[in-house]
Amino acid sequence: MRSFRVTSRYGDYEVVVGRGAWRRLRTLARRGGGHEARPYTSIFVLTERGLWRRWGRQFRTEAGLKNCGVLYVPPGERSKSLAMVEGMAARLLAVRADRRSLLVAFGGGVVGDLGGFLASTYMRGIDLVQAPTTVVAQVDSAIGGKTGVNVGAMKNLVGTFYPPRLVLADPVVLSSLSPRAFRSGLYEIAKHAILAGDRLFRILENEMESLRPENPKSLGRILAAAAKVKVDVVKRDEREARLRFVLNLGHTFGHALEEATAYRRFTHGEAVGWGLLAVLRLANLLGVLAMGEEARMAELVRRIGPLPSIADLNERRIVELLPQDKKTIGGRIHWVIPERVGKVRIMNDIPVKLAAAAFCEVQASSNSTRMGLGAPTRARA
Amino acid sequence: MRSFRVTSRYGDYEVVVGRGAWRRLRTLARRGGGHEARPYTSIFVLTERGLWRRWGRQFRTEAGLKNCGVLYVPPGERSKSLAMVEGMAARLLAVRADRRSLLVAFGGGVVGDLGGFLASTYMRGIDLVQAPTTVVAQVDSAIGGKTGVNVGAMKNLVGTFYPPRLVLADPVVLSSLSPRAFRSGLYEIAKHAILAGDRLFRILENEMESLRPENPKSLGRILAAAAKVKVDVVKRDEREARLRFVLNLGHTFGHALEEATAYRRFTHGEAVGWGLLAVLRLANLLGVLAMGEEARMAELVRRIGPLPSIADLNERRIVELLPQDKKTIGGRIHWVIPERVGKVRIMNDIPVKLAAAAFCEVQASSNSTRMGLGAPTRARA
């Protein structure tokens, strides 16, 4: 079990990754949070019904929660809405949650983002613990204090920055994920490895195929290393103005792919997987990639497993959807472009034609290699 | 024109009160906000249609806003909803507001609370300027960074702490308020005077009848002094944990009165007016008021003008509604009890029977004095 401290201008908190992480909640629940450190008047868990059925008893036992209320959120992205926030706030009020109550978000990205927003706004902010239950949530979305809900088709259009009191990531829950859901999270780990540098990248290169819930030791070690990448970025730039932006690596294309398929074909991680392949290609076309680096990084991404096809997608449509990314400031697209393992740069003057070409080439090479069976072979002049 | 600096852990800002305050927006709009101080990509005004028709041109001229988008909110408390936040966020997105846009909330409490919440959550926070246009908003609600919307009957159940870049309170707009709306704000000024101490209180005693929009000089001076009371409290305790709580003086009874009449009979200020009279009576029954102080303070409140009747309200119902105040922590009612001009204490162990008795006595004395024509005469043993 590893533990990292996030220092934030809104307050510090601990990220605990590994088997037994949930036990850390005992201390907080006993001691209480905030400057006053009084015990909480009540504790509520926001979760999904199926997930809680499988893990609720174990979580409550390990976390030492004898009396806690449970609020269920229907699974799926549609739950990330202001209407759901309203419904949950009314529920919290009905069960007499007050300013000294604690909310535990036990679930994946939807529960974490919704629960974070709910905790940050209910009575103008109550204490929050994130207990992420998916790979992406454990190494990425539950860390950093971003919360959000969707408005129409626009993801996270409304949200807050709100640090939790604790992030408790126990890999034991990952064993009930579907293989596809589990794999999806590995794309985000690959992204973190590309950002972090050679050490994590090499470990992943050596252990990719053994990264399975059945190998908790190897898995726990890599989850902790990947979570630390996010922790380090967040510590240095909480509000994303500059450094935190690098975490968008692979997400510019990724978001466009999700939008183009109405969020139905790809999991978020899979879209990021394609996004990484496309932006690596783009970096190659731009001539900023060191020799051999594209192949090395793309191979790691492809080894994660097969990705849903992008063969039928039109590159013009994809490129059209790029500017709708809300990271656009003043109408431009800010790209995170990899230079080599451990180094990226931000560029905002890339011709859209080049982006379209990169997408087409990834499309073509994926068709010819029958999707996911090998790295693209074309080398750069 | 007077200017006060609010230092807040989320960022500092200036509160400008007096004729010409709007001009201060020119500098901000030119220089931009935040650490980077880049000019804004766009500026949007959130307001009400009738108000903007009357003042929009003058505001834009003085504030130097050549190009700005305008978003209209329907008047009334019902606009303080998450559904309205969702609609306005979608509108902002449609007109391409981005993270570097500025939102100006030009209106009373509803526009300020809604606009503040919208700005604090749109793309996880964009810059905000409060341009309050009612007495209460100018001396109280626009200062301090509290935002909020209602959920069901529960006022401000969902909200944030979010400091504006500027608060610009120009008394010129008060001339288009109805006499009743104008007077309602004076109850909050009386509350501030009771909290602040003898100086402001004496000025009010001397000038109450001349406090009219037609006397801008006297009005501006008192608005600034009342706004400063709020500024001083906010500076010392931004999150209301302790000191800020005193601003609830008169609001415990006040909220119950508003609820008991479904927010239809009283303006918020009028409910606070009755709330002040009732809590003064309660303080007297508790024996914590210095001799003669109840009469002195109650007289000031009553001189503001006639209040809608409370003769038909049942004291048991009022007392039942008290605990629903969300300031209740762990089920108790925290009262702000005046001891004398300039001094209050917080008490949480007052028998409800005493609160009921205080309410009945105010009710009775108001009937006998035909409402608002004099102070209650009963002295305390």
Has residue A381 been placed in a domain?
no
Q: Provide the pLDDT for residue A380.
A: 39
Neighbouring-strand partners of residue B149: B158
Judgement on whether residues B85 and B152 belong to the same structural domain of the protein: yes
Which CATH number belongs to the domain containing residue A28 in this structure?
Answer: 3.40.50.1970
Q: Are residues A107 and A199 in the same domain?
A: no
Alpha-carbon gap: B86 to the closest alpha carbon of chain A (Å) = 6
Contact residues on chain B for A241, CB-CB shorter than 8 A: 35-36
Position A376 in a domain: no
Dist CA A365 CA A220 (whole Å)? 34
Residues of B with active-site annotation? 124, 146, 188, 230, 240, 244, 248, 251, 255, 268
Say whether both A188 and A225 belong to one domain: yes
Q: How many domains does chain A have?
A: 2
The verdict on residue B374 lying in a domain is no
Domain final position from B151, B176, B201:
B176
Q: Are residues B171 and B259 in the same domain?
A: no
Q: What percent of chain A has pLDDT over 90?
A: 77
- B47 and B86 in a single domain? The answer is yes
For residue B258, the tally of other CB atoms under 10 A from its CB is 23
Contact A44, A92 (CB under 8 A): yes
Q: How far apart are CA A62 and CA B35, in angstroms?
A: 44
| A228 shares a domain with A356 | yes
B95 shares its domain with B186: no
Model pLDDT for residues A215-248, shown as the tens digit of each residue:
888 899 999 999 999 998 888 765 556 677 888 9
- What residue numbers bound the domain in which A66 lies? 2-176
Region of A320 (left: φ > 0; alpha: ψ -120 to 50; beta: rest) is alpha
Domain membership of residue B339 (yes or no) is yes
Please indicate, yes or no, whether residues A197 and A313 belong to a single structural domain of this protein.
yes
For residues B210 and A83, which has the higher predicted lDDT (pLDDT)?
A: A83
**Could you read off the pLDDT tens digit of each residue along chain B, which spans 381 residues?**
999 999 877 678 999 999 999 999 999 988 887 666 678 999 999 999 999 999 999 999 999 998 899 999 999 999 999 999 999 999 999 999 999 999 999 999 999 999 999 999 999 999 999 999 999 999 999 999 999 999 998 989 999 999 999 999 999 999 999 999 999 999 999 999 999 988 999 999 999 988 999 888 889 999 999 999 999 888 876 555 667 788 899 999 999 999 999 989 999 999 999 999 999 999 999 999 988 999 999 999 999 999 999 999 999 999 988 855 454 455 578 899 999 999 999 998 899 899 999 999 999 988 754 444 334 334 333
pTM of the model: 0.89
Q: Is B114 part of any domain?
A: yes
Q: Does B262 touch chain A (CB under 8 A)?
A: no
Token pair listed for B112 = 């300020």
Q: Chain B within 8 Å of A321 (Cβ-Cβ)?
A: no
pLDDT at position A241: 60
Cα of B293 to nearest chain A Cα, Å:
34
Q: Which of A157, A161, A330 sits opposite B100 (nearest CB)?
A: A330
Q: Give the contacts of A31 (CB within 8 A, at least 6 positions apart).
A: A37, A39
Give the number of other CB atoms < 10 A from CB of residue A346: 14
Q: Is residue A377 part of a domain?
A: no
| Residues A203-214, mean pLDDT to the nearest whole number | 92
Residue B255 lies in a domain: yes
Residues B166, B203 share a domain? no
- Give the pLDDT confidence score for residue A242 in this predicted structure: 66
Number of CB pairs, chain A paired with chain B, less than 8 A apart: 101
Same domain, A19 and A164: yes
The predicted-structure confidence for A175-185, as pLDDT tens digits, reads as follows 999 999 999 99
Sign of CA dihedral A40, A46, A47, A49: positive
Most A CBs within 10 Å, among B12, B35, B82, to test the A interface: B82
Q: How far apart are CA B72 and CA B111, in angstroms?
A: 9
A248 within 8 A of A314, measured Cβ to Cβ: no
For A3-51, how does the pLDDT look when each residue is reduced to its tens digit (9 = 90+)?
999 987 767 899 999 999 999 999 998 888 766 667 899 999 999 999 9
Where residue A267 sits, what CATH number does that domain have? Answer: 1.20.1090.10
Tokens of A255: 């978001």
Task: Please indicate, yes or no, whether residues B126 and B199 belong to a single structural domain of this protein.
Answer: no
> Are A36 and B241 inside 8 Å of each other by CB?
yes
**Backbone phi, psi, residue B123, to 5°:** 50, 35
Band of residue A381 on the pLDDT scale cut at 50, 70, 90: very low
pLDDT, averaged across chain A: 90
Is residue A43, in this structure, part of any structural domain at all? yes
In this prediction, residues A123-127 reach a mean pLDDT of 96
Chain B hits for A158, CB-CB cut-off 8 Å, are 85-86, 89, 121-122
Tell me the nearest-neighbour CA distance from A306 into chain B, angstroms: 34
Whether A105 and A203 map to the same domain: the answer is no
